[in-house]
Amino acid sequence: MSETPYPKWFATPDGNTVYALPSEESWVEHRRIGERYQRHEMVVSTYADRLHFAALLERLEAGGLIALGEAEYLNRVRHIERLKPLG
C-alpha cells in the first residue's frame, strides 16, 4: 500500500456510503439505508480496526471505491443527512 496523504474522501460505486478519512487514526462513514441513514465515527484503536482501515484503502486503490474531492464529499453527505436518521 502506498503512502496516503490525509484527509481522503471516497464513496461506494452505488453512492449509498461515503467515507471521510481525516487521518490514519479515524474515519467517518455515512451510510444510506433505504430512506434513512446512519453515521459512524470510528477511532482506530484495535488491530481489527486497523485491518478494516487498511481494507478500505486497498479497495480505494484497486478501484472498488470512488475517490471524491472535499466539495463532492460534503455535497453527498448533505444529501444523505436530509434523510431521517436510523435509530
In this predicted structure, what is the pLDDT of residue 52? 93
Q: Which residue's entry shows cell 430512506?
A: 35
Computed from CA positions of residues 15, 1, 52, 49, in that sequence, does the dihedral angle turn out positive or negative? Answer: negative
Q: What is the pLDDT of residues 48-79, one digit of tens each?
A: 999 999 999 999 999 999 999 999 999 999 99
Query: Any idea which residue has 484503502 for its cell?
Result: 57
CB 42 within 8 A of CB 27: yes
Please report, for the chain, the start and end positions of each structural domain, with discontinuous segments joined by +.
Answer: 8-85
What's the CA gap between 18 and 72, in Å, rounded? Answer: 10
Look over the chain and give the mean of its residue pLDDT values, rounded to a whole number: 94
Question: Is residue 7 very low, low, confident or very high in pLDDT (cuts 50, 70, 90)?
Answer: very high
